[in-house]
Amino acid sequence: MYDIENNKLILNIEQDIAKDLSLRYTIHTTSMSTILRAFAEDLYAEEINVLSQQDTAKRPENWRLSPQAVVTYLVGGTLDNGFVVSPKYIGSRRLMEIAVATLVTDRALLLYGLPGTAKSWVSEHIAAAVSGDSTLLVQGTAGTSEDAVRYGWNYARLLAEGPSEGALVVTPLMNAMRKGQICRMEELTRMSSEVQDTLITVLSEKIMPIPELNTQVQAISGFNIIATANNRDKGVNELSGALKRRFNTVILPSPASQAEEVEIVQRRIKDYAQVLEMPIDKHLLEEINRIVTIFRELRGGVTADGKTKLKSPGSSMSTAEAISVVNSGMVLATHFGDGRLTASDIASSLTGAVVKDPVQDALVWNEYLETVVKRRDEWADIYRACKETI
């Protein structure tokens, strides 16, 4: 006789064993792997926890930290107990105070500026410090639909059940409204105008209507939106006047000084080096100084001494690109050299960062090499290496 009940029991046991093995495998592989880029709230969990313990100022409802503590988390500082908070944003403290203060009001925050001026970075860290969750993110593109912003439907369940709560696909924006947290919206001006304008009701009335269910989601205290936009994307899908009025705009500038920009690059490179397990070359600061000088001169259209006017390339020559140039050079030096960062390691990525247009930018870059770099005796190595890449 075939024991149906015992067979069911055996099948259940086998399924439980399979689940257990699967769970063990998942835990094992996760522990053996290194996360390439941890979320800000995880990477800086200790700082956020210590700030929370030391924070005696008034906190808005559903905020993990007070506005003052959020700003300290962003710009860094030493707490009363001697704990040192590392700076996440190197620049004007007042700008960060304005940005954080905006989120206490009923207006949303728009971080605006050139590409590579840390808009997304600041947005992530503000969300981590305020809500303890920086993952409620909508990435704006030309293909971003209204469903990705407001809500969507599980069409299999929609066909089977009709419109129902179970068939609803919840978006990060809806989750943020329900939880009283920050929703991040990247590259807002890349979304179509129709999709942008779906935010008007959310920002003005703090509700998201769901007419198919004859209901709405009401935002609870702590909810707000941080959006980012590049000024070079101004002509893609400019914000409507109605939407602009619902945002406070904070313009993030390029680093004000050479020393400030060098510090930013140096800090980020040390973070990358730790994740990628690369040694820090003792000559790294020297190369960072040269790269930042090149970027600032081409970006500003004048040499550091102010004596020679220069043509600027079409590329943004941002701090983020400078970080990428150094990072690429370090990888080459580590895996294909002796570990010492040299001009030949950075020449290719440096040329690639400058020359986006193979005709106009190439002329600008070649002119800069001949009129500026060639005349600096201590830069002879970088002149030769870059000329070889053209």
376 domain residue, yes or no: yes
One domain for residues 284 and 348: yes
One domain for residues 227 and 98: yes
Which two three-digit tokens encode residue 50?
Answer: 């210590």
Q: Which pLDDT score, from 0 to 100, does residue 3 have?
A: 46
pLDDT band at 233 (very low <50, low <70, confident <90, very high): low
Q: Which of 216, 251, 286 lies at the terminal end of a domain, its last residue?
A: 251
Across 180-198, average pLDDT: 93
pLDDT in tens, 259-276: 999 999 999 988 877 777
pLDDT in tens, 7-37: 443 334 344 434 443 443 343 444 435 777 8
Q: Which of 163-167, 229-233, 273-277, 385-389 has the lowest mean pLDDT?
A: 273-277
One domain for residues 220 and 335: no
Q: Which pLDDT score, from 0 to 100, does residue 359 have?
A: 92
Strand 137-139 relative to strand 77-78: parallel, antiparallel, unpaired?
Answer: unpaired
Q: Which pLDDT score, from 0 to 100, does residue 282 have?
A: 72
- Phi/psi for 154 (5° steps) reads -80, 105
One domain for residues 201 and 326: no
User: Per-residue pLDDT for 248 more than 80?
Assistant: yes
295 domain residue, yes or no: yes
Q: Which pLDDT score, from 0 to 100, does residue 159 have?
A: 92
Q: Is 113 exposed, middle or buried (0-12, 13-18, 19+ CB in 10 A)?
A: buried
**Phi/psi-derived region of residue 76, left when phi > 0, alpha when psi is between -120 and 50, beta in every other case:** left
One domain for residues 278 and 228: no
Across 34-42, average pLDDT: 86
Across 188-201, average pLDDT: 90
Strand 137-139 relative to strand 182-186: parallel, antiparallel, unpaired?
Answer: parallel
One domain for residues 343 and 289: yes
Render 271-322 in DSSP notation, one character per residue: HHHHHTT-PPPTTHHHHHHHHHHHHHHHHHTB-TTS-SB-PPPSS---HHHH
User: Per-residue pLDDT for 258 more than 70?
Assistant: yes
Higher pLDDT, 107 or 281: 107
pLDDT band at 2 (very low <50, low <70, confident <90, very high): very low
> What total of structural domains would you count in the chain?
2
pLDDT in tens, 66-84: 999 999 999 999 999 999 9
Domain enclosing residue 336, as ranges: 258-389
315 domain residue, yes or no: yes
144 domain residue, yes or no: yes
User: Per-residue pLDDT for 240 more than 90?
Assistant: no
One domain for residues 147 and 294: no
pLDDT band at 338 (very low <50, low <70, confident <90, very high): confident
One domain for residues 110 and 178: yes
369 domain residue, yes or no: yes
Q: Which of 251, 267, 296 lies at the terminal end of a domain, its last residue?
A: 251
One domain for residues 123 and 211: yes
The pTM of the full predicted model, rounded to 2 decimals, is 0.84
4 domain residue, yes or no: no
81 domain residue, yes or no: no
One domain for residues 97 and 246: yes
Across 45-55, average pLDDT: 97
226 with 108: CB under 8 angstroms?
yes
pLDDT band at 235 (very low <50, low <70, confident <90, very high): low
pLDDT in tens, 291-336: 999 999 999 999 999 999 999 999 889 999 999 999 999 999 888 9
One domain for residues 116 and 139: yes
At 150, which CATH number? 3.40.50.300
23 domain residue, yes or no: no
One domain for residues 241 and 295: no
User: Per-residue pLDDT for 350 more than 70?
Assistant: yes
Q: Which of 251, 274, 307 lies at the terminal end of a domain, its last residue?
A: 251
Q: Which pLDDT score, from 0 to 100, does residue 24 have?
A: 38
